[in-house]
Structure 1
Amino acid sequence: MMTEFDVQPQPGADKTNMSLPELELVELQAMLDWLSTYGADSQGGVTRLLYDNAWSEAQHALAKQMTEKGLVPAFDQAGNLYGTLSSKESVSSAQDGVATYPIVTGSHIDSVVHGGKYDGAYGIVAGILALEYLHKHFGRPKRTLQVVSLCEEEGSRFPFAYWGSRSITGVTTLEEVQYLLDQQGVSFSEAISGAGFGPDRGLKPAAQTYGAFIELHIEQGQVLERNSCSIGIVSDIVGQRRYSITVKGEANHAGTTPMSWRKDALAGAADMIVAVRRIALQTGEPFVATVGRITAEPGVGNVVAAKATFSLDIRHVRQEILDRCWQEMLQTFSRIAGEEHLRLEWDEHLSVTPTPMNEKIRQDIQEICEREQISYLHMPSGAGHDSQIFQSACPTAMIFVPSQQGISHNPREFTTEADLMNGFRVLVRLLYKYGYED
């Protein structure tokens, strides 16, 4: 059942149409389906990699959509796309000597290879439609509202993630990533220039200042579905550590080398992987540890492995837990290596600290859910998101909607229309509060 806004419409507005109309739901799903055609593959998946043709077509198509829906589109040098609903006064006007910066919502336009149509795209589409709805029913806001289609988050093309939010917050500059190569040997600098972006294109600098950032996103897990909740209010985004663990032994004949004489790198790695699972289970939720890849050399069935390398991904919402578990794992790996006469090496590829979301915005989201009678759950995010980058620069919050069976990064990724609409309703309410009331 739709709930009416308890606010007054702008003069001349249709007072009988103050609830979120069914048309919004139809357009929300239709626009997601439309956006998924950019980068669509024959298996029903979506592939939009940073600065490739599908990505470029999608961003420019969204810019056209923004114009049609009453927003002012603009690209920055990194390729982030902004749709602005300006306030009655200039964004840069000062109030008591303090500049008023826009309230921004949105997410990322890029996808993983052969991904789904909701990841990232939902937050962009919902943001565009939310600003259109607010403008249509309430006129221009007191404070400028924006939706941003972030150029990249996934790290699917180049070995680097969160370029969109990192460029906006100034955490990373083009100079720091320009020489990165994709799998075809194309440099980051060549790719950005080929897509029509970069510092020499006359576009505004990527670095921006936000009053707040609000990201609406599918959960990509099963927590909401299993708890029969429609909205997830993200409390924290987990910290992550990623490593490559290398175990070195000695290649030898599988038939003539007694078991007690072997320096079997693969057997040692296997004991270490078992220890990873044991330590994770002993630590308890929400700590998770994953070994997703292992290779052995020489990789021959009748030769004792001389070298084994495996990946390790650990995550938790508290830094001290991450630190403690890594040290326990490293000590265990070292003990196993010593007992088996092996050598141990390790490299850290990623270290991201846990990020709490803004408590005031979380409370506002909870109050909206209670007023709308929408079930909700405060929960951590086990996946990384642009919001963890923005939180260091401005008040930031994330709103989750359920993912059916927790499936994501997959063509089978799906969220029901009812859940999509609930997330949309909460976002509209929240943007109204910050843009029209506060």
Structure 2
Amino acid sequence: MTLVPEINGERLLGRLDAFARIGATPAGGVNRQAFSVEDRSARRLLAELALERGFAIFQDGIANLFIRREGSDATLPPLLIGSHLDSQPTGGRFDGALGTLSAFEALEALEDAKAETKAPIEVVAWANEEGSRFAPGVMGSMAFTGADTAAWKSIVGSDGASLATELEATIAALPEARLRSTGMPISGYIELHIEQGPSLEKERMPIGVVTAVQGTRWLEVSIEGTAGHAGTTGLAYRRDPMVAAIAAIHRLQTTIMPLDTSARLTVGRIAAQPGSINAIPQSVSFTVDLRHPQPERLDAIEAEVREVCAAEAEAQHCTATIKRSFDMPGAAFSPDMVKIIEDAVSSLRLPHKQMISGAFHDALFIARVAPAAMIFVPCRDGLSHNEAEYVEPANAVTGARVLLQAAIAAASPR
């Protein structure tokens, strides 16, 4: 008799603890950066767990790791479920790992119940989602969906390591995994992830059903003035780029987000040259991270940033130069896949809310080649990319239960 597949919460939480010990930091987080020794150890553990259950394992040329459970119809493309295992240098134990290990638990639950799905289901651990050691991030999903990776061969990491060398070593460290070409037809993709924001926790909502990922654009602003002595240069003679930069940032912070609740504007880095305490800077540079779900609004916000920076620079007799360094269009997820997840939530009698993701994830790229959607669970105080990142055990198990039900429905269409 076939049993009803059920998530084994104790097993899932134990796996989260086990993986958190790989690259553990003294403050309770993890340092498991992409293609590192720690990353290889996590991949090794997941592969060994998969082989113990009789699942087939594969990896591709960018070190995406796949764990396959066969379906009743071998001609159907697989459904992918998963996330990533790499972390920030001082990252949390749930970012990525929760989605990957919940996906593996879903496979185990199906195996425990001897349940059959029509399509195969594959757990995927995407390579280098974070991009903290080797930029850009989301390398694995970008390569999977056909990105040109030729330039990546020359990338050097933040620690001086060669990406090509570390990638080769990572693939070689798992010889049990059969090598497959990067990219293949899939029937869909579902990713479970922590929200990385406070709204679900604040609203006491156990599940967020993600309908889209907002677009992201990075700008590098440089304002040029004239270096001068701090004590001898009067106001009338100053061409001070720091004054212009501060004025521009202040104007943008008081208009962009207050007037558009869907907009995000962040100045994350600022530097002055020559950087002397007693000298007017020659130049000031800063970065601007822009995000919005609507591409036309993102264009309008960028135009406003350019206009404001130019105006404030001119007011100080300086010049402003702005370069776009990164542009990642957003994506709307498949309505059909969103409905599958919402039906799974309803079948478990759980409340939920629809959400737009403010962060980009591997699902953003997979949505361009197959039906995809995401499930969010709350994290304490919205903290992520932080060693204090925490997900209540009950919420972790609930997310895995939704993922299991959604995966069964998506892999066995009526």
2:55 maps to 71
Q: For residues 103 and 257 of structure 2, what CA distance do their matches in structure 1 show?
A: 39
- Mapped pair 1:320 → 2:296: yes
Q: For residues 427 and 202 of structure 1, what CA distance do their matches in structure 2 show?
A: 27
Q: For residues 437 and 304 of structure 1, what CA distance do their matches in structure 2 show?
A: 67
SS at match of 2:412: helix
- Per the TM alignment, residue 85 of structure 1 is displaced from its structure 2 partner at its CA by 0.6
1:273 maps to 249
The residue type paired with residue 370 of structure 2 is C
2:209 maps to 233
Gaps of at least 5 residues in structure 1 are: 1-11, 94-99
- Per the TM alignment, residue 257 of structure 1 is displaced from its structure 2 partner at its CA by 1.2
**What does residue range 5-404 of structure 1 map to in structure 2 within 5 Å?**
12-14=1-3, 18=4, 20=6, 24-90=8-74, 93=75, 100-173=76-149, 175-197=150-172, 203-404=179-380
- Per the TM alignment, residue 197 of structure 1 is displaced from its structure 2 partner at its CA by 4.9
What's the TM-score, normalizing by structure 1? 0.90
- Per the TM alignment, residue 317 of structure 1 is displaced from its structure 2 partner at its CA by 0.5
Structure with higher RCO (Cα < 8 A, 6+ apart): 2
2:407 maps to 431
What's the TM-score, normalizing by structure 2? 0.96
Gaps of at least 5 residues in structure 2 are: none
Q: For residues 200 and 178 of structure 2, what CA distance do their matches in structure 1 show?
A: 44
Q: For residues 365 and 193 of structure 1, what CA distance do their matches in structure 2 show?
A: 37
Q: For residues 365 and 383 of structure 1, what CA distance do their matches in structure 2 show?
A: 20
Tell me if structure 1 keeps the 8 A contact 2:334–2:372: yes
Please report the RMSD computed on the Cα atoms of aligned residues, expressed in angstroms: 1.8
Q: Can you list the C-alpha shifts for 1:175-215, whole angstroms capped at 9, x where unaligned?
A: 231001112332221221222359x9982112222110100
SS at match of 2:290: strand
- Per the TM alignment, residue 102 of structure 1 is displaced from its structure 2 partner at its CA by 0.5
Q: Can you list the C-alpha shifts for 1:107-164, whole angstroms capped at 9, x where unaligned?
A: 0111110111100001110111101111221433211111111121111111211111
Query: Which deviates the most, 293-302 or 383-392?
Result: 293-302
% identical aligned pairs: 29
Q: Can you list the C-alpha shifts for 1:63-93, whole angstroms capped at 9, x where unaligned?
A: 0111223422222222111111111232xx2
The residue type paired with residue 154 of structure 1 is E
Runs of 4+ displaced beyond 6 Å: none
Tell me if structure 1 keeps the 8 A contact 2:128–2:134: no
The residue type paired with residue 100 of structure 2 is I
The residue type paired with residue 378 of structure 2 is P
Name the count of aligned residue pairs: 412
Query: Which deviates the most, 238-247 or 71-80?
Result: 71-80
Tell me if structure 2 keeps the 8 A contact 1:374–1:422: no
SS at match of 2:183: coil
Q: For residues 54 and 359 of structure 2, what CA distance do their matches in structure 1 show?
A: 33
Structure 1's 367 and 88: CA in aligned 2 closer, same or farther, altered over 3 A?
closer
